[in-house]
């Protein structure tokens, strides 16, 4: 018997961390089930070109991809800056209202003829049919739900949880793989989140901070499991990409430490002065590089390529680059490769300072000591605490050069201790993976 599964909320190939979470979710499902599996993955993007960029590698890997019916309300915006304009927010708000009406109607009346009327796009209609035929809806791992006390928080939660609501309305099994949940501000926001997540057949969180938060707001079915990024393995599937990667590695210094850096154009959504916070963040990274230029060469790795200005790491890298001293040695690595391939770049580093948390995870999988710059919810603090490495975390809202330098000095000083803690963590991860697979099998095959 074939078990039909849809993985939501989206496939994002240009974000190697999210890509890993989607692919590893699929691999985990395939290995957990004894019979055949028919896995479909929902796509992501604001237009045809965007969607192709976001799902091409996933298609090439042999996965089936579906058109997303819960699309970003900013999809008609042409802005290319880190911080959106008021007009851009206004237009997105109008589209969000229209989307909400369509999606709510389908929840009340999930019938084909009404869906065709509200969603005339043939690809959307195909997705709806696949959802109706599926046995299970599985939410990939990742940074799932958190709010900052903003006007659009409730819509953000609706946007994030809609596929779970639709799945339950269609009487499907609902599984949430290890995610971060919280912080969530506001009584109504917490009540809505609690109401939806308590309907899940299996719900995992990827750090105990999230588990405690779930217990606090009355989510009764949450369980702890490691981030699926820790299941990742490197590979060289294409000879051409192998040559591109090798060319980057050949630029690494033979006389200095090779230090990887990942940064992102973060919006600082919880701040009243996001522009000032961003400038402070960029200056702290640049000063760290300048102060360590005699002993280290830096490699700025584009972990996320887009599609939006908010997500394109190269923008933040260029902002740092403009502040580097002339004699600071560095390279910028920006390749069209998947997460399995980019891991080989992390493997050749000596250390990593990572804002993109899956760059930290990929480095750790390769045995490379990594420090993390935490942002957006519980994930970084919680996961690093879980593996006994929380002392190597600095929060992006409080970042200073001095804090970065102190953490980096500790990485060098405690190199062996760090690697021993990683070894212990991966023993626990392997046991955890077997437990998760067993529990998944129990839910999916009943």
318-336 residue pLDDT tens: 999 999 999 999 999 999 9
Asked whether the bond before 9 is cis by omega within 30 degrees of 0, the reply is yes
3-231+429-444 and 239-413 share one CATH topology? yes
- Alpha-carbon span 330 to 27, nearest angstrom: 36
Find all residues with CB under 8 Å of 268, minimum gap 6, and list them.
274, 277, 278, 396, 397
* DSSP-derived pairing of the beta strands 173-181 and 142-145: parallel
Residue 337 — left, alpha, or beta (φ > 0 → left; ψ -120 to 50 → alpha)?
beta
The string of pLDDT tens digits covering residues 61-100 is 999 999 999 987 776 654 444 545 666 667 777 888 899 9
Question: Percentage of residues in the chain with pLDDT exceeding 90?
Answer: 76
Average pLDDT estimate for 367-378: 92
- Alpha-carbon span 422 to 433, nearest angstrom: 16
Average pLDDT estimate for 34-63: 91
Average pLDDT estimate for 379-393: 93
Q: How confident is the model at residue 116 (pLDDT cuts 50, 70, 90)?
A: very high
Q: Which residue has the higher pLDDT, 91 or 58?
A: 58
Average pLDDT estimate for 286-309: 92
Alpha helix locations (H) across 4-85?
16-32, 48-60
Q: Which residue has the higher pLDDT, 81 or 437?
A: 437
The string of pLDDT tens digits covering residues 128-145 is 999 999 999 999 998 778
The string of pLDDT tens digits covering residues 199-237 is 999 999 999 989 999 999 999 999 999 999 999 998 876
Of 16-30, 83-97, 98-112, 150-164, the poorest mean pLDDT is in 83-97
Q: What is the pLDDT of residue 194?
A: 96
Q: Which among 168, 230, 232, 163 has a CA at the least distance from the CA of 199? A: 168
DSSP annotation of 85 reads: -
> What fold does the segment set 239-413 form as a domain?
Rossmann fold (3.40.50)
CATH architecture of 3-231+429-444: 3-Layer(aba) Sandwich (3.40)
* C-alpha dihedral, 161 to 187 to 216 to 24, nearest 10°: 20
Q: What is the pLDDT of residue 77?
A: 58
- Alpha-carbon span 173 to 194, nearest angstrom: 17
Where do the domains of the chain lie? 3-231+429-444, 239-413
Q: What is the pLDDT of residue 7?
A: 97
Residue 109 pLDDT greater than 60, yes or no: yes
Residue 309 pLDDT greater than 60, yes or no: no
Burial of 290 (0-12, 13-18, 19+ CB in 10 A): middle
């Amino acid at each position: 018997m074939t078990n039909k599964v849809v993985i939501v909320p989206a496939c994002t190939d240009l974000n190697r961390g999210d890509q890993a979470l989607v692919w590893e979710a699929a691999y985990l499902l395939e290995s957990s089930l004894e019979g055949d599996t028919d896995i479909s993955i929902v796509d992501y993007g604001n237009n045809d070109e965007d969607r192709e960029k976001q799902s091409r590698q996933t298609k090439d890997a042999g996965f089936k991809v579906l058109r997303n019916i819960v699309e970003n309300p900013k999809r008609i915006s042409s802005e290319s800056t880190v911080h959106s304009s008021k007009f851009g927010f206004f237009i997105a708000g109008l589209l969000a209202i229209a989307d909400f009406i369509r999606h709510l109607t389908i929840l009340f009346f999930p019938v084909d003829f009404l869906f065709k009327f509200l969603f005339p796009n043939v690809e959307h209609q195909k997705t709806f049919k696949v959802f109706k035929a599926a046995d299970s809806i599985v939410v990939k791992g990742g940074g799932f739900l958190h709010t900052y006390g903003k006007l659009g928080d409730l819509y953000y939660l609706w946007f994030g949880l809609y596929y779970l609501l639709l799945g339950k309305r269609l009487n499907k099994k609902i599984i949430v793989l290890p995610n971060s949940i919280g912080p969530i501000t506001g009584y109504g926001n917490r009540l809505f989140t609690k109401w939806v997540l308590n309907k899940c057949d299996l719900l995992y969180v990827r750090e105990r901070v999230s588990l405690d938060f779930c217990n606090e707001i009355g989510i009764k079915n949450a369980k702890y499991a490691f981030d699926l990024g820790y299941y990742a393995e490197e590979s060289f599937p294409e000879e051409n990409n192998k040559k591109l990667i090798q060319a980057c590695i050949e630029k690494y210094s033979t006389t200095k430490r090779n230090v990887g850096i990942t940064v992102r154009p973060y919006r600082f959504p919880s701040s009243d002065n996001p522009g000032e916070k961003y400038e402070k963040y960029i200056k702290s990274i640049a000063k760290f590089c300048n102060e360590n230029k005699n002993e280290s060469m830096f490699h700025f790795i584009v972990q996320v390529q887009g599609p939006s200005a908010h997500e394109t790491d190269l923008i933040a890298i260029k902002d740092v680059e403009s502040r580097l001293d002339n004699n600071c040695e560095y390279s910028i690595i920006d390749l069209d490769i998947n997460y399995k391939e980019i891991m080989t770049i992390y493997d050749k580093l000596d250390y990593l300072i990572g804002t993109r948390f899956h760059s930290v995870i990929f480095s750790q999988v390769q045995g490379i000591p990594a420090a993390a710059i935490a942002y957006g919810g519980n994930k970084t603090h919680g996961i690093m605490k879980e593996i006994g490495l929380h002392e190597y975390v600095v929060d992006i809202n409080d970042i200073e050069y001095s804090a970065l330098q102190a953490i980096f000095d500790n990485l060098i000083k405690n190199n062996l201790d760090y690697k021993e803690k990683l070894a212990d963590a991966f023993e626990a991860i392997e046991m955890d993976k077997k437990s998760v697979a067993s529990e998944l099998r129990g839910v999916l095959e009943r």
